[in-house]
């Protein structure tokens, strides 16, 4: 026992200090919020876009990019963060930043373009729940995770939040085994036809009031399975969604930031910067 206690003392504190301290360093290969360079896109690229060039849109495997006379618009709910659009753009007008704060409360808030403010490119970060729900869930939130046809990438990053380095439980957020013990659902996957009934039953089993979180491009829009006959196009096609966390898969930090904003633990566009 003494050796165990000694080893534990030597290990020290392993849990990150975020959000009270700086965010953990992200690797160079991390792809966060896509940024449209207006200086490149407002000239030649925008003209080509208006005339039908649309190289970035044609390269996108999920139709996340639409072209207009003012330049491209990117739907983060469909984006796979594959960077093919940036590689295809003749002017190199699209690049991926290290910005991990991406979660929003509505689909419209996930659409960005070059005419929006340069700091967030128009993305409205998730606001807290309504006061009534915040009083119920602000200090204790139990979620039932449902994989509605996912590939296990989003599920794996959600599981990371339960490790000692992240310790999601310190915020009063826990994943439970039964929907009757839950305050809401965290859904991953495009919602396949085979999972429709199971998802409906799971949602019905959660006591009122309840919330729904769509985690990942598949759960938001269908991801790479958009318009597939065996998928329904995401959780929003079946249930009311309170929080959307884009990514393929979303980084654990993106998921955590979204959850904390929903619970009013982080507020404001500058909060959560590391």
Q: pLDDT tens, 166-202?
A: 999 999 999 999 999 999 999 999 999 999 999 999 9
Ramachandran category for residue 226: left, alpha or beta (phi over 0 → left; psi -120 to 50 → alpha): beta
For domain 131-262, the CATH architecture is 3-Layer(aba) Sandwich (3.40)
Query: What CATH code is assigned to 34-99?
Result: 3.30.70.20
Query: Is residue 104 within 8 Å of 242, Cβ to Cβ?
Result: no
CB neighbour list of residue 145: distance below 8 Å, 6 or more residues apart: 155, 158, 175, 185, 186, 187, 188
Query: Is residue 154 within 8 Å of 216, Cβ to Cβ?
Result: yes
pLDDT (0 to 100) of residue 112: 86
CA dihedral 66, 72, 77, 78 (to 10 degrees): 50
pLDDT (0 to 100) of residue 118: 43
Q: How far apart are CA 180 and CA 162, in angstroms?
A: 21
| 192 strand-pairing partners | 231
Confidence of residue 115 (pLDDT cuts 50, 70, 90): low
Do you know the residue count of the chain? 274
Q: How far apart are CA 181 and CA 143, in angstroms?
A: 8
**Nearest CA to 154 among 217, 91, 208, 226?**
217
Phi and psi, residue 39, nearest 5° = -65, -30
Domain boundaries, the chain: 34-99, 131-262
Confidence of residue 89 (pLDDT cuts 50, 70, 90): confident
pLDDT (0 to 100) of residue 256: 97
Whether the per-residue pLDDT at 250 is higher than 80: the answer is: yes
Q: How far apart are CA 98 and CA 115, in angstroms?
A: 20
Higher pLDDT, 219 or 40: 219
Out of 15-19, 174-178, 207-211, 252-256, pick the least confident.
15-19
Q: Which helix (H) or strand (E) holds 173?
A: strand 173-175
- Give the SS3 label for residue 112: strand
Asked whether the CA dihedral 176, 178, 183, 189 is positive or negative, the reply is positive
Chain centroid to CA 35: 17
């Amino acid at each position: 026992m003494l050796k165990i206690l000694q080893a534990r003392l030597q290990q020290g504190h392993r849990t990150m200090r975020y959000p009270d301290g700086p965010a953990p360093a992200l690797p160079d290969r991390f792809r966060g919020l896509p940024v449209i360079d207006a200086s490149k896109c407002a000239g030649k690229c925008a003209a080509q876009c208006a005339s039908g060039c649309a190289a970035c849109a044609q390269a996108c495997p999920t139709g996340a990019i639409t072209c207009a006379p003012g330049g491209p618009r990117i739907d983060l709910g469909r984006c796979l963060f594959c960077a093919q659009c940036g590689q295809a753009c003749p002017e190199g007008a699209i690049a991926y930043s290290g910005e991990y704060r991406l979660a929003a409360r509505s689909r419209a808030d996930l659409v960005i373009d070059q005419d929006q403010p340069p700091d967030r490119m128009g993305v409205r970060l998730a606001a807290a729940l309504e006061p009534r729900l915040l009083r119920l869930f602000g200090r204790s939130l139990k979620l039932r995770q449902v994989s509605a046809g996912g590939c296990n990438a989003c599920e794996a990053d959600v599981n990371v939040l339960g490790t000692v380095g992240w310790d999601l439980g310190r915020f009063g957020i826990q994943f439970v085994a039964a929907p009757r013990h839950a305050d809401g659902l965290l859904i991953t996957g495009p919602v396949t036809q085979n999972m429709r009934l199971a998802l409906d039953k799971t949602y019905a089993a959660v006591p009122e009031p309840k919330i729904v979180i769509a985690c990942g491009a598949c759960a938001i829009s269908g991801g790479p399975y958009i318009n597939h006959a065996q998928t329904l196009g995401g959780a929003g096609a079946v249930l009311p969604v309170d929080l959307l966390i884009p990514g393929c898969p979303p980084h654990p930090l993106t998921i955590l930031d979204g959850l904390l904003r929903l619970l009013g633990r982080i507020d404001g566009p500058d909060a959560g910067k590391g």
